[in-house]
Structure 1
């Protein structure tokens, strides 16, 4: 069995790391909630973008030149190609796109939350995940196993694990 000194050390590290990571935890929490609403226009505003493409492109060429996921050609006539996010003028080669996106601060928070292994933020996400795993382990080392608080904590943790497993099984 571990000594009371070890348990106190874990309490101290848990507390210090918790204070240190409180800012990034707040950012991840806010951006995670914001990502729930990503299919909607919640907190998004319109951004108009103009791109200069070659003149007289076909609808397929316009789609491949713009490179936007979920781009669809809605209509085409002699002068323009109408897209679901804008319009392409065949004579001038100008594509005017209207998209909705978050304000710059929120966009950066979402980008941080969605970072992949191709991003330099990848290392921050790994460090944050490892830190959260430390919180999980150290939570069980904050109290001596003989104390009633520890035993109650195990019961509450068991309920939490059961809820998490049920959420994963039935929530997806």
Structure 2
């Protein structure tokens, strides 16, 4: 491979890396935070009041409150009690505690978990393609005959094998 094409890949790799440094930091931080999403780590309590439809059963109440694994602990008269709150069956009034991350981290997580219904879904696609370019362009930054290229291949194979192991664990 000629020196000109090596420099071209290095330039694209370098300037795309600088351009995407901010979004890569967001994905890195939110990925770490998402690791703890099943815990209350860094979350604060917010007292919530909502008026829902009256006469909801346990399943419908859990769906209305958007709580996974929802379970009513006890029912006394017209009031159903669940972890962190209560629901009045006759009036439809629900009082409960919701745990949330700080607004900045919550927004970072929303960006990280973006889907095709989000108006900015193209950003996620662009970022994915850019990361794929980083992975591929790294192999074109050095001459295949260079010792550093061969050493890099060993690391690439090790990383690939680790990924395969992680996918099946």
TM-score (structure 1 length as normaliser): 0.88
2:25 maps to: 26
- Going from structure 1 to structure 2, the CA distance change for 1:154 and 1:95 (only over 3 Å counts) comes to same
Report the number of matched residues: 168
2:109 maps to: 110
Contact 2:58 2:71 in 1 (8 A): no
Instruction: State whether structure 2 residue 53 is matched by structure 1 residue 83.
Output: no
1:59 maps to: 57
CA distance in 2, matches of 1:97, 1:130: 42
Give unmatched runs, 5+ long, in structure 1.
none
Contact 2:48 2:97 in 1 (8 A): yes
SS in 2 for 1:140: helix
Give unmatched runs, 5+ long, in structure 2.
none
TM-score (structure 2 length as normaliser): 0.90
SS in 2 for 1:68: coil
Moved more, 157-166 or 88-97: 88-97
Taking the TM superposition and a 5 Å limit, the aligned residue runs for 1:151-170 are 151-169=150-168
- Going from structure 1 to structure 2, the CA distance change for 1:158 and 1:108 (only over 3 Å counts) comes to same
- Structure 1, residues 18-67: CA drift from partner, whole Å, max 9, x if none? 11111100110000011111111000011111112355x25348616724
Contact 2:62 2:71 in 1 (8 A): no
